[in-house]
């Protein structure tokens, strides 16, 4: 999959590669049993993960984005224990989606303005032949007969 932003190819890779490299980690959703559980659950998430960003908090459901690099077994044990001690009803963990990757790449390149593609005549060896065998227009007009368009620049993986 390739993602273009601001007129340039910004990232290229398999879905898993893009999620791992540009996805930002994991999404944690916690459903609290009561309104008073928000603070203790937030403190638990801060303790278990690095790079915690609270995405939303609606009617007892807390959503966080966390960085990679945590002990999965320790996290599951802590969440299972929190069900009885902190009023946690359910929890889900998922890798960020491809949509999240697209949005991050677009946001990172939002302020960059695209450069117009340069169109030039192709060298004779590269020219496409017209079906009628004629020559390109003598006035230098660009036609669909022999064009070379500069490829989009690639910014990295």
The full set of domains in the chain, from first to last, is: 1-24+97-111 (no CATH), 25-95 (3.30.70)
- C-alpha to C-alpha distances, 155 to 9, 12, 113, nearest whole angstrom: 7, 9, 14
Tokens read off for 77: 């044990």
Burial (0-12, 13-18, 19+ Cβ within 10 Å), 145: middle
Strand partners, 28: 64, 93
Cα–Cα distance for residue pair 70/25, rounded to 1 Å: 10
DSSP state, 27?
A: E
Strand partners, 12: 2
What pLDDT, on the 0 to 100 scale, is given for residue 76?
Answer: 92
Length of the chain in terms of residues written: 157
- Please write the tens of the pLDDT for every residue from 60-114: 899 998 888 888 899 999 999 999 898 899 999 998 889 888 888 888 888 666 5
């Amino acid at each position: 999959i390739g993602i273009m932003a601001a007129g340039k190819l910004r990232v290229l890779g398999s879905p898993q590669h893009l999620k791992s490299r540009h996805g930002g980690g994991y999404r944690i959703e916690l459903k609290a049993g009561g309104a008073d559980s928000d603070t203790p659950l937030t403190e638990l998430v801060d303790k278990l993960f690095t790079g915690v960003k609270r995405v939303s908090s609606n009617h007892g459901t807390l959503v966080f984005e966390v960085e990679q690099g945590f002990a999965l077994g320790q996290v599951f044990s802590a969440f299972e224990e929190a069900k009885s001690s902190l009023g946690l009803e359910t929890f889900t963990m998922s890798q960020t989606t491809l949509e999240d990757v697209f949005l991050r790449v677009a946001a990172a390149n939002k302020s960059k303005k695209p450069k117009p593609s340069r169109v030039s005549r192709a060298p004779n060896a590269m020219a496409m032949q017209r079906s009628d065998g004629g020559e390109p227009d003598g006035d230098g007009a660009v036609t669909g007969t022999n064009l070379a368009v500069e490829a989009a620049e690639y910014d990295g993986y």
